Amino acid sequence: MVKITGFKTNDVRFPTSLTGDGTDAMNTDCDYSSAYVTLETDSELRGYGMTFTIGRGNDIVLAAVAEVAGRLLGKDTEELFSDMGATWDYLVADPQLRWIGPEKGVISIATGAVNNAVWDMYARSRKKPLWKLVVDFTPEEIVRSAAWRYISDAITKEEALAMLKEKEAGKKEREENVKKVGYPAYVTSAGWLGYSDEKVARLTREAVEQGFSHFKMKVGANQANDIKRGKIIRSIIDDPQYLPERHKNRSPNDESVRGKNAGPTGAVLMIDANQVWDVQQAIDYVKGLEEIKPWFIEEPTAPDDILGHAAIRRGLKPYGIGVATGEHAHNRMVFKQLLQAEAIDVCQIDSCRLAGVSEVLSVLLMSAKFGIPVCPHAGGVGLCEYVIHLSLIDYIAISGTMERNVLEFVDHLHEHFKTPCSINDNGRYNVPLDPLEGYSIEMYEKSIAEFEFPHGSYWVGAAKK
C-alpha cells in the first residue's frame, strides 16, 4: 500500500517579458510562470503537476494548490487510481473551497495542477506515458475517469460508451500510425505582437523550413498593422520557393487543409485576438482582415460569452472565416454551451485552465459527439509537454481522427523539463515514448533553483541590478 504523505509547491517564473514572447493585444507584459506541485508518497513514487500563469498571481494560485493537495494526504494511491472520476469529484467537493469557484477561477486551475499530478503519478506507477495509460483503458474505464456532473444534457455516459466502443477496433492502427508520422502541429512563435516585422519574417521562414504548414498570428491592436504583418507572413508561406524539398507537393486541395482558406502551397493562417473586442466590433474588425485569408479568429471576445461567439460565427461565415475558442473556457459547462449553441468551428481546450485530465476527457467526448475538432491551446511553459498527451488520447481512443486537427507549438522553455516535447522535420509532434515520463511535466531541480520567485538565483540577481 502506497500512501500520499505530503506535497511541495514551487513558484517558478521566467522573464519572457524581456523578449516580447507571449505578447498580444490583451497581454502585453508576460512572464511565463509555473505554479508547480509535487505529490510525495511513502515510496519512491512521485506525481508532478503544474498550472500556467503569466507572472503575478502565481503565489495566489499556489496557495489554492496547497489547499486542494491537502485533501489527498493519507490517501491510498491505488484507491485513487481505481476510479479517477471519483477522485476528481473528491478534489472539487470541499464545500468551503468550492464556494470560491465553484469550478472556475483560481480554485479551478489549482485543482487542475493537483489532478494532473495524480494522473502523472498514476502513469508513472504503471510505467507508461500518460497518453498510453489512457488509450489502453477499456471504454468503461475512460467513461469512469471523466467528470460528468452538469453535462448529461449534452452527452450521457451511455452515449460516450457507445462512441468509445465504436472506435475500439482501429485503436492499435491509429496508435502505430501516429507513432510513425507524428501529430500535426501549428506554430505561433512567429506571430507575437511584440516582434518587429523583420523578426516575424525570419521566424516565419524558419518555421516553413521546419515543415510547418499552419501558422498563427496575434491581432487586435491595429488593423492596418495586422494586415501588413499578415501579408508578410502570407508572402512567405504562400511562396513555393521557401518550401523544403520534402514539401514541394503540398496543395490547397489536401484533405487536411480543405476549407481552411489555404494558400497555393497548402499553407494555413490563423489569427488570435485574445478577447480584445466586443461582439460587433469583432465582426467588423475581422471582416477587414479578409484579404489575408485566415482560417479562424481565436478568442474574438470575452471567453464566457457563448452567445457572443455564436453571433460572431454567424457574422463571419459569409467571409469563410471560422471561430475558435477555449483557452480561457474554465470548465466543461462552458464548452458544453459553446457546442450546443453552434458557437465554434474549433474547440481549444487548455490543459491547465480545465481542472485536470478528468475534465479534459469530458470535453473531448462532447466535442467528438458534436463533430468539432479539438486543437488545444499550448505554448506558455509546460503546456506543449502536456497537450500532446491529450491530443493523442483524442485521436487514438475518442474522435478517431487527426485529419483536421492541429496542435499549437511554441518553441519556448522546453529545456527546463526532463522529457521535453519535440517536433519532427514535417512539423509534427513526436509521440512521447519514455515509460517513466508520466505526464511529461517534471522540471529540472536546477531550473527551479534558478527561476523560483523571489529567491531563485536569477531573480536575486535581477533584484540587485
Q: Which helix (H) or strand (E) holds 218?
A: strand 214-218
Instruction: Give residues with Cβ within 8 angstroms of 283, minimum separation 6.
Output: 311, 312, 315, 316
Q: Which of 218, 247, 336, 416 is catalytic?
A: 218
216 in catalytic set: no
Mark 208-218 as b/e (b = at least 16 C-beta within 10 Å): bebbbbbbbbb
Residue indicated by cell numbers 507537393: 249
Q: Which of 247, 377, 389, 412 is catalytic?
A: 377
455 in catalytic set: no
Report the first-to-last Cα separation within the chain, whole angstroms: 51
CA–CA distance from 82 to each of 79, 87, 122, 145, 163 (Å)? Answer: 5, 9, 10, 9, 22
Radius of gyration of the chain (CA): 21
Taking the C-alpha atoms of residue 214 and residue 208, their distance in angstroms, rounded to an integer, is 9
Q: Which parts of 94-250 fold into alpha helices (H)?
A: 95-99, 105-125, 130-135, 139-145, 157-167, 171-181, 197-209, 223-237
Active site residues: 218, 377
